Amino acid sequence: MKKDLISITDFSKDEYLKIMKLAAEFEENPNQDLLKGKVIATLFFEPSTRTRLSFETAINRLGGKIIGFADPDSSSASKGETLHDTIKMVSNYADLIVMRHPLEGAARYAAEVSPVPVINAGDGANQHPTQTLLDMYSILKTQGSLDNLNIFLVGDLKYGRTVHSLLMAMSEFENPIFNFVAPPVLEMPDEYKIFLREKGIKYYEHSEFTDIISAADIIYMTRVQKERFSDPIEYEQVKNIYILRNSMLEKTRPNVKILHPLPRVNEIHTDVDTSEKAYYFTQARNGVFTREAIISHIMNLK
Ligand code: CP
């Protein structure tokens, strides 16, 4: 049976750990010809820099070939071809499909239509499971464990698919504590709070973070996503609500790391970039090794 990765909950805790181990192996030795003779399609119906290019780097490092598009206007979707027909066609050509789409649920639908495995590279405000696996790899590398961590999620918790996936994955580990920092219009959706309550996991909600981040092991900043707002005035009111500055890190724990899925706009001041607590650029680099691991796991290459 084919294996898809659409929601982070499609993988078990054991699979998360297997991917962490494989990612470490690929970081040691990134160039392995495991995809020789295979064709991978990368279909990006929404803009991307890191996800598409790190997937394509991973595929190249594994010796595979790439087909696809970075802009749906260059595909027959612009002529009105349905997602159903696009996926049916591409699955004739490729051994695996990596897809980003603006509609929540589009990746699950593609997986139902496709006879070849599908990896969700982000579907609207829903899920971004491969980002979560690289976030977990980054947390494990910097903290030495995925257990007993105090994780601050800051910014757009309503539309932020990366925080939704991360919260679900980290809830599988021992004793996580979550602190949500968001304005009321961008607070964590109820379904995720209910999910945590049902698992007996503690979470706290805040509208300010300057005085409380001293307790954090991970500060996960997110961009307020202009493209998800239907009301531009509402976006203007919250777009610069949280800006992390280097001076705010003085009283934070020595082990704390600042993560961000990127791209950033203003939410992390550039004066943080030189701090040893800033980890977001290395986090993005970890995406290559983690995506090599995900492809390897899904296609049973090792
Ligand atoms: N983190 C992330 O998904 O970045 P891109 O939108 O550039 O792919």
| Rounded-to-integer distance, Cα 50 and Cα 71, Å | 15
Q: Which atom of ligand 1 is nearest to the CA of 53?
A: 8
- Span 281-291, mean pLDDT? 98
Name, in order, each residue with C-beta under 8 angstroms of 236's C-beta and a sequence gap of 6 or more. none
Shared domain check, 277 and 134 = yes
Its domain, for residue 39, covers 8-127+287-298
| Rounded-to-integer distance, Cα 126 and Cα 124, Å | 5
Please state, in angstroms and as integers, the Cα–Cα distance from residue 300 to each residue in 35, 110, 259, 292, following that order.
11, 21, 30, 12
CA angle, 292 then 260 then 118, to 5°: 35
Longest Cα–Cα distance of the chain, Å, equals 56
- Span 64-75, mean pLDDT? 96
Mutation choice for ligand 1 from 131, 220, 259, 288, CB with most ligand atoms inside 8 A: 131
DSSP class of residue 41? E
Confidence band (pLDDT; 50, 70, 90) for 62?
very high
Please state, in angstroms and as integers, the Cα–Cα distance from residue 30 to each residue in 27, 33, 59, following that order.
6, 10, 10
**Residue 17, domain member (yes or no):** yes
Kindly give the distance from the C-alpha atom of residue 90 to the centroid of ligand 1, in angstroms, as a whole number.
23
| Rounded-to-integer distance, Cα 165 and Cα 160, Å | 9
- Span 240-251, mean pLDDT? 95
Shared domain check, 169 and 148 = yes
Q: Is the CB of 261 under 6 A from ligand 1?
A: yes
Shared domain check, 156 and 251 = yes
Shared domain check, 118 and 17 = yes
Q: Is the CB of 222 under 6 A from ligand 1?
A: no
Reply yes or no on whether 82 is catalytic: no
- Span 284-302, mean pLDDT? 97
Domains: count for the chain: 2
Sign of CA dihedral 79, 81, 82, 86: negative
**Residue 91, domain member (yes or no):** yes
The reported pLDDT for the residue numbered 125 is: 87
Shared domain check, 145 and 119 = no
**Residue 2, domain member (yes or no):** no
Confidence band (pLDDT; 50, 70, 90) for 273?
very high
Shared domain check, 200 and 180 = yes
Shared domain check, 44 and 172 = no
**Residue 51, domain member (yes or no):** yes
pLDDT at 228 > cutoff 90: no
Q: Is the CB of 54 under 6 A from ligand 1?
A: no
Which of 51, 130, 162, 290 does the annotation list as catalytic?
51
Shared domain check, 183 and 259 = yes
The reported pLDDT for the residue numbered 229 is: 86
Confidence band (pLDDT; 50, 70, 90) for 15?
very high
Q: Is the CB of 225 under 6 A from ligand 1?
A: no
Structure tokens at 31: 């160039």
pLDDT at 227 > cutoff 90: no
Shared domain check, 145 and 268 = yes
Q: Is the CB of 53 under 6 A from ligand 1?
A: no
Reply yes or no on whether 84 is catalytic: no
Q: If DSSP codes are grouped into helix, strand and coil, which group holds residue 73?
A: helix
Shared domain check, 215 and 136 = yes
| Rounded-to-integer distance, Cα 3 and Cα 207, Å | 40
Shared domain check, 263 and 152 = yes
Which of 3, 18, 38, 50 does the annotation list as catalytic?
50
Kindly give the distance from the C-alpha atom of residue 261 to the centroid of ligand 1, in angstroms, as a whole number.
7
CATH number, position 252:
3.40.50.1370
As a whole number, the mean pLDDT across the chain is 96
Give one word for 84, left, alpha or beta, with left for phi > 0 and alpha for psi -120 to 50.
alpha
**Residue 1, domain member (yes or no):** no
The reported pLDDT for the residue numbered 67 is: 98
- Cα 281 to chain centroid distance, Å, stands at 14
Nearest CA to ligand 1 atom 6: 48
Query: CB–CB of 66/88 below 8 Å?
Result: no
**Predicted confidence (pLDDT) per residue in 145-190, tens digit:** 999 999 999 999 999 989 999 999 999 999 999 999 999 999 999 9
**Residue 3, domain member (yes or no):** no
Report strand pairing: 150-154 vs 177-181. parallel
Structure tokens at 6: 């659409």
The reported pLDDT for the residue numbered 223 is: 93
pTM across the whole model: 0.96
Shared domain check, 276 and 141 = yes
Confidence band (pLDDT; 50, 70, 90) for 38?
very high
Kindly give the distance from the C-alpha atom of residue 227 to the centroid of ligand 1, in angstroms, as a whole number.
14
Query: CB–CB of 133/294 below 8 Å?
Result: yes
